[in-house]
Structures are given as C-alpha cells and as structure tokens.
Structure 1
C-alpha cells in the first residue's frame, strides 16, 4: 500500500522549486544592482475580496489593493465572466485600422463621467504610457500650432508619474533619478505641496500662497511661451498620500488657464472610486483639467488598460490648424484592447451600482480609525482622503525628521504586519493603505488593529537595537 503524501510538504517543495526558478529567471521591477535578476519576493497564491493568500497559506488583508488598483476586490465573478466571454467573442483587433464595440462603448461612458469638455479618450496600456501620451500630445499640439518652443513641463517634488523615459523624468523622488538617465532639461520642478513638511513658522494658508507664488515666479522666469504643461496628481500617491492645501489645485489651474499652459490631472490612482467618484478632479477638487490620465482602477487590475481624457477644445484647435497632414505618430499595439475595454465597462457597472456610494459612506470611518494611530510615539502623522491613507513615522515629533533607518522602518512594519495578517505598502519611513473599495467597517477595524500591533512591535525592536529612543 502506497504511503500517503503530506499536502503541506508537497506545497513546500513546490514553493521551493518556484522560488528557485524565480531566482534563476525572473527580473523584478525596481531591483537594485546587487540582487538584480537573482531576487525572490514573497509569493501570492490567491485572492478573494479584500484578502490575498500567500504561498505559506496565510490569509492577509490586501492593504494596498495590489498597487492601488484592485478596487472592486479580488475574485470578482462578474469581471471574470466578462474576461472569458470577450476573449471568446473577440480577443484582439488592431487599433491602427479597426475598432471594437467595447472600446467605443467605454469611451462614451468615460466621457459622460469626465468633467468639462473632456469628451475624448486615447487608450493606453497603463499609467506610465497614459502620462507619456498626454505629454507627447502636448508636444505634437504645440508643433502643429507653430509653437515648437512651448514644451517645458512643470511637475512637483514628491510626485510620481511613471517609468517610461519622459514620464519618469517628471518624478520628484530623488532615488528615482540617482542612477537613471532622464529628460531633466525639459522639466521644471516645484516644491512638494505637503502641509506636514511646510516651512517652520508658516501656517497652511500661507504655505498655499507660497506654492502658488512659486509657480508664478517659475512662469515669469521661464516664460509662459516656453511652458507647455503642468502635471499634478490630485493626491500624491507614491509620494506618501500628500493631500494639498485647500484651494491649491484651483489656484494652480487658474494660473495655467491665464498663461495658456495645459493642466494635466494625473488620476492614475485617484480615479475609479478611490476617492468615491469615477474622476476626482471636479467632484472632489472642483477643477476641470485639459487632460486627465487614468489606469489602475479602470479595470480594477484585472487587465492592463489606461488612457487620457482630452478636451474637445484641444482637438478642435488641431483640426483648425494649417497642417491637416500633421500626424500624431503615437500608438500602442494594445491601445483600445477589446478585453480591457469590456472589463472596464463591467468594472464601471460595479462602481455605479453601489461601490462609489459605499466608498463615500465608509471613507470617513477609515480615516478616523487610522488617525487613532497618532497616539503611538513613532507616528508623526496619519493623513489621507477617501480610501487612501499614509502613516508617516518620525524620529521625534519636534523636528518631524524621518528615522535614520530610512527605508527599513516601513519594511520592518510591513514584515510584522504580514505575520499578523496584513499587507502594507512600505514607502521609506511611511506605510500606505489603499484597500479594495469593498472593505467593511469590521474589516477596517481588523486592518487598523493589525497595523497598530505591527508598529508597536517595530517600536520595541528599534529600542532593543538602540536605533530609536522611543
């Protein structure tokens, strides 16, 4: 009689084999030179609702919602069904000379939600390509209109806009540029609109005045005739969930309009429910941009898709130019992908059928419960909006300086939280939360409880190692 095989041992052997294969062949995103091509990261085997299961069988709350993207949660049967049905009906069509029905229907739905006259969409494959498209469109438009010198792009310190060459050049995080080439000569960078780190002695309204005045001076210094666009995340996501001062975006938008500078709202994170609306620009911040970039939540991560909403006015200007032969020589093999567009349509159904309202109702509770973590000595500030938040750790509350451990603090907290049942997005000395929109009050309580324990364990660890006085 054959001996019974232990399922746990079989799973462990399979995991070891998978780990070895990954180390041998898989190059991970954002690697460091010392381990590039030989790095192994924690494995995720399954997902359901707000939870994922790792390869060790632990069930974890997906605190970052994948990468700010699994808005409707994991294992959505309606979306899975659409993936199959669309693949069986039409798996692909070339956007160069054909059009699919899902891409047209989605364009109509997006135009209905977009603010102002943003009634047109150019589809891409993700957020980086969406930002790249918006910038190339600005360049093309100014070339066609006889303004080839109007190409400078204004971005902010702390911002993140992508990993393609031009989009990455906009990023305002120093580590992004330490070893990578970029088009820095095309970028003007302003201060980060972070009220927590405003200059000493300056209140928040004064800080807002300072930021707006800085933009005015940049326009005067470089010339409005040379600045093509200003790009901003309504809430800086990867920069640490930076919510700008009240009125800041409206005032920056006004300056752009007065100086014929395109305002690009980078809503790759803030759109599709993260702040309770399909697009946050108008409904949350009362601005009508010239373009809006989107990705991530448009399909809740079930299929790669992104895009740019473009003002009708901009297209009309091009059609009225003297260069009808000018070609916007830009496109992607997977632009307007029928499966991605079909998934996005179903995703919109789920958002409109209750998830947007649920997010608006539960977001204040989410923010309030996380705010209780400010009673921990390691926590300098908890901030956020909608269902996105950041816990920033500091060495002391008088200076608000980050801990000297730098990137290790967030990683330490994440490691403890994973053992307790929560995935955290560690960002240097910060921890970011952006769970699926389906999260409930009791699940928020679980998330905050585990995060509290993880921070406490990290505090004890730092004191033991004499790295922090507490």
Structure 2
C-alpha cells in the first residue's frame, strides 16, 4: 500500500524525469526504428491483486495480467516471501555441475500434472528459450538416430512462438518478419485455424477437414522423412486468442503419430491455470504431445522461468542409441534456477490449493459477460476459452473486414480504457483480455463495463473522423 500512496503523491516533475531518462537510456521491446532508444511508455509503479497503479496514481484493472503471466495476481505475499527465503538459502547454483532441491521437487510435481509419459523437464529462462530448446532437442534426437534430414518444422499462420532466432522463425504473423531475418527454410506454414475467418458459407466441420487435409498434403509433398516436428499453441494467444475447431488438435496429433513427427504443444500461455488446469493439452483438448513448452504463469511472472516437458519415450530412444557419447550441447546459465523453481513451487501450491478450481468456476461468467459486447456495431466477434478472450473489431459485419478500419483501433480503445481504469492488450484491430486468475464476478463486471465504454468512445471517435460508418 505504501507503494500505491507514493505513486499517488508522485509529482509531474518526477514523471517527466522518468520519461526523459527512459528516452535517454532505455531500449524498449519491439520498438520501431524511428523511435528506438528514444521513446517512453506508460509507467507502472505498483500492483495489488488484479490491479496496477500507474505513474499518475490511477488504479487500473490489469486486463492482460502483465503479459498473460501474473496468474496469482500482484503483491502475492506467499510468492514474494519465497523469493526472499530462497534467495537467503541458495541464490544460485551452476546447473552444469550441481543441482538444487527446488528444481528436483518442482520436476516431480510437474511430471505428476503432465499428460501421458511427459515425465522429465528441461528448465529455461522463458517461453522463447523453451521453444528453442524443444527445436534443438528435436534436431539432436534426429541426428543421434541417423536422420539428419528430418529437421523441418511445421507451424501455422497467425501463431507466435518467441523472439529467439529459431523460435521467431516459426511465427506466423507477417509483421514479425518484415524487417527481421529468420531460418525460414526450415519452416513450413499451414493455414491459421481461425473459424471466424473461414470461407463464407463453409461449416466449421468442413473448415476443420480442410485444415487437416492441408497438413496431410504437406506430409505427402514434403515427405515425412524430412519433417521433424509440428508445433502448435492449443489456443493461438498473440494471434488473437484463436480457438481451433473441435477435434482439430486431436486429428493433427494423429497425423503426427502416423508419420513419426513430434507434436510440440506450446503452452507458454495456456498452462498454469489460464484454462483451469496446470497443463491444458490433455485436460482440455484431449491430446498427448511429445513435448510441452511452458513459461509465464509457471511463476506468475515473479521470476523468469520456462521449460520443456519431454516424453520419457523420447529419452529412452536416445539412451538406447549407438551414440552414448553424443552430447546435447545445450543449456543456459540460469537453467533450473533455484529461486525460480522455488517460486514455481509456491505458485503451484496456490493453483492446487484453490486457484485452478476458481478459474474453472469463474471462466464461464467471464466469457459470457464479454460476449455481451457483440451488440456493439464495431465488434465482429468475441471469442475465447477459460480466462483468455479476444474482442475483434471489424469495419462491417457482412465482410468482417478489419483492414478498412484504422489499424490503431486497438490502441485507441486501450487509451480510452486506461483513462477509465483498465489496461487492455491491443493487437492492431483486436483487444485481448487475460486477467489474473484471482478475478471475481464483480471485478469482471467492472472490466466489461469499462471495455464497453472504451469501445463505444472509439466508435464515436472513428465516426467523427470519417474512418468508420457504423
């Protein structure tokens, strides 16, 4: 509370000084060239529960939960206490030569929650490095098995998998590749499984059939002997919370199994309660992947940690190979970090202790209340699952065309909402909501009410500027 009071008393001079220092010295993530190293962004100085406080002292609902990650909420005392206690007990150990109790205990607990035989975990520092690890493991495994040509990765348009060189190469959003190099030769992109964008008049079932047929055709054309893995977010998060057609993931998994292609479920967003379970692959979508990547909610954002759950069968295949001396020469200074693993254990205590059950109980209300926004003319669709949702704005409901709109419409809505007390995750013409799992019904009502006002104000603004006819 002291931090909040300090924020409320912060002078405009202090705010200006902070902005000037940021422009002079701080390079923000994902900048544009014209502002790189010379920009300032909205400042957040405190957080409590589902709320954050900005530099002006405004208390805002944290609609995106940071970056899909503050699942247990801000200022969670048990997690904060663990950070201190573990730091005083053991702040670091080298994973090259030693191991820590927290990393071993957490591994046991994660294995108990994992589907099928995903009984081992390799720890990383976040989601990008988790995906990078999964890809490098696939490459290593095929090299050891004498299949050096089996390396291509199948991903999807609209997907997002990270910012490292290999993980970013998988991304299916055009703007991610406009000015950045990538290992594009190793990646095959399938169509985005977005039912909202299916051809006019086509049923969802037929749409799903087409997606599966496309993958089958790619396997036949490329050759299964050249494809090492298929990677998929169970729900495309940064692509706009794309929930695939029913049965899609299971059918894609079957094709992978039939053709000896590893199925990597990228659960960086969907794990640790976002869909009401520690892992969603089996519990929600009925699939048993070969690997699961995770990060974000594993520590509720209190410490950078990620990892890859790996099938016991894959490890056993390597142990039985004729190359016992082949080294998986991959690791990070902060792999298996004792503080991160200890924090993740406490976070898991909270999830198992009631937060998962609360998320499952509150999710239908969250989705239903957000769905009411579809009565606004600017809104084309509200979609989601669990405690993640997207409001997609369109120029008109007949074409569902977003391109005729001001492409900054998401930012416009976010700006209005911030003045009203809500942070939004703007994605061009879309607004993403993924609040902390601790959110209550009355807080959902507040969130939806503010979002409705923000969209309505944006409608009026666009109409006045002649950018939207309504």
TM-score, normalised to structure 1, is: 0.98
Q: Structure 2 CA distance, aligned partners of 1:55 and 1:125?
A: 29
The aligned residue for residue 168 of structure 1 is: 168
Counterparts in 2 of 1:10 and 1:450: CA distance versus 1, 3 Å = closer
Tell me the matched-pair count.
Answer: 465
Aligned to 1:345: 345
List gaps (5 residues or longer) in structure 1: 1-5
**Aligned in 2, Cα 1:161/1:10: closer, same or farther, shift over 3 Å?**
closer
Matching of residues 246-325 of structure 1 within 5 Å: 246-325=246-325
Equivalence map 1:42-61=2 (5 Å): 42-61=42-61
Could you tell me how far 1:11 is from its partner in structure 2? 2.4
- Residue 360 (structure 1) aligns with: 360
- Distance (whole Å) between structure 1 residues aligned to residue 93 and residue 354 of structure 2: 32
1:381–1:393 contact (8 Å) kept in structure 2 = yes
The residue aligned with 2:3 is none
SS across alignment from 1:391? strand
Residue 12 of structure 1 deviates from its aligned partner by 1.8
> 1:204-229 deviations in whole A, cap 9, x for unaligned?
00000000000000000100000000
Mapped partners of 1:403, 1:384: distance in 2:
22
| 1:202, distance to aligned residue in structure 2 (A) | 1.1
Once residues 433 and 262 of structure 1 are traced to their aligned partners in structure 2, the CA distance between those partners, rounded to angstroms, is: 31
CA contact (8 A) 1:51 1:61 kept: yes
CA distance in 1, matches of 2:52, 2:221: 51
Q: 1:84 to 1:8 in 2, by over 3 A?
A: closer
RMSD: 1.0
Q: CA deviation at 1:16?
A: 1.1
**CA distance 1:197–1:337, shift in 2 (3 Å):** same
- Which region of structure 1 is more displaced relative to structure 2, 9-18 or 427-436? 9-18
Pair 387,9 (structure 1): closer, same or farther in 2 beyond 3 Å? closer
What is residue 3 of structure 1 aligned with on the other side? Answer: none
In 2, are the aligned partners of 1:407 and 1:427 still within 8 Å (CA)? no
Find the residue that maps to 1:301 and give its secondary structure. coil
Q: Spell out structure 1 runs of 4+ moving beyond 3 A.
A: 6-10
Residue 78 (structure 2) pairs with residue 73 (structure 1): no
Alpha-carbon distance in 1 for matches of 2:96, 2:428:
43
Shift of residue 404 of structure 1?
2.7
d(CA) in 2 for partners of 1:290 and 1:368? 34
Check whether the contact 1:265–1:291 (CA below 8 A) recurs between aligned residues. Answer: yes
| Partner of residue 237, structure 2 | 237
Name the residue aligned to 1:205: 205
- Work out whether residues 393 and 403 of structure 1, in 8 Å CA contact, stay in contact via their aligned partners in 2: no
Matched, 1:36 2:39: no
Query: How far apart are residue 9 of structure 1 and its match?
Result: 7.6
Q: Closer, same or farther in 2 for the Cα pair 1:358/1:8, shift >3 Å?
A: closer
Q: Which residue of 1 aligns with 2:218?
A: 218
Contact 2:123 2:305 in 1 (8 A): yes
Task: Give the Cα–Cα distance (whole angstroms) in 2 for the partners of residues 362 and 150 of structure 1.
Answer: 44
Post-superposition offset of 1:403: 4.3
Contact 1:373 1:379 (C-alpha < 8 Å) held by counterparts: yes
String of CA shifts for 1:91-149, please: whole Å, max 9, x gaps.
Answer: 00000000000000000000000000000000000000000000000000000000000
Do the aligned partners of residues 10 and 451 (structure 1) sit closer, same or farther apart at CA in structure 2, a change above 3 Å counting?
Answer: closer
1:373 aligns with 2:373: yes
CA contact 2:103–2:336 (8 Å) conserved in 1:
yes
Q: Which residue of 2 aligns with 1:144?
A: 144
TM superposition shift of 1:13? 1.6
Kindly indicate whether residue 453 of structure 2 is the aligned counterpart of residue 449 of structure 1.
no
The TM-score normalised by the length of structure 2 is: 0.98
Q: Aligned equivalents of 2:458 and 2:175: distance in 1?
A: 24
Evaluate the alpha carbon distance shift between residue 333 and residue 205 of structure 1 in structure 2; reply closer, same or farther with a 3 A threshold. Answer: same
- Indicate the SS of the match to 1:225: helix
Check 1:351–1:195 CA distance in 2 against 1; reply closer, same or farther (3 A cut): same
In 2, Cα distance between equivalents of 1:357 and 1:403: 40
Secondary structure at 1:192's aligned position in 2?
coil
Counterparts of 1:7 and 1:357, CA distance in 2? 34
8 Å CA contact retained: 1:230, 1:262: yes
- Map Cα deviations across residues 227-270 of structure 1 (whole Å, 9 max, x no partner): 00000000000000000000000000000000000000000000
- Structure 2: gaps spanning 5 or more residues: 1-5
SS of the residue corresponding to residue 293 of structure 2 reads: strand
Measured in 2, the distance between the counterparts of 1:173 and 1:351 equals: 32
Do 2:291 and 2:309's aligned partners in 1 also have CA atoms closer than 8 Å?
Answer: yes
In the TM superposition, residue 201 of structure 1 has moved relative to its aligned partner by: 2.2
Shift in Å, 1:14: 1.4
Q: Deviations over 1:154-175 (max 9, x none)?
A: 0000000000000000000000
Structure 1 CA distance for aligned equivalents of residues 201 and 213 of structure 2: 17
> What corresponds to 1:178 in structure 2?
178
* Equivalent pair of 2:117/2:313 in contact (CA under 8 Å): yes
State the shift of 1:8 in Å: 7.1
Match of 1:407, SS state, is coil
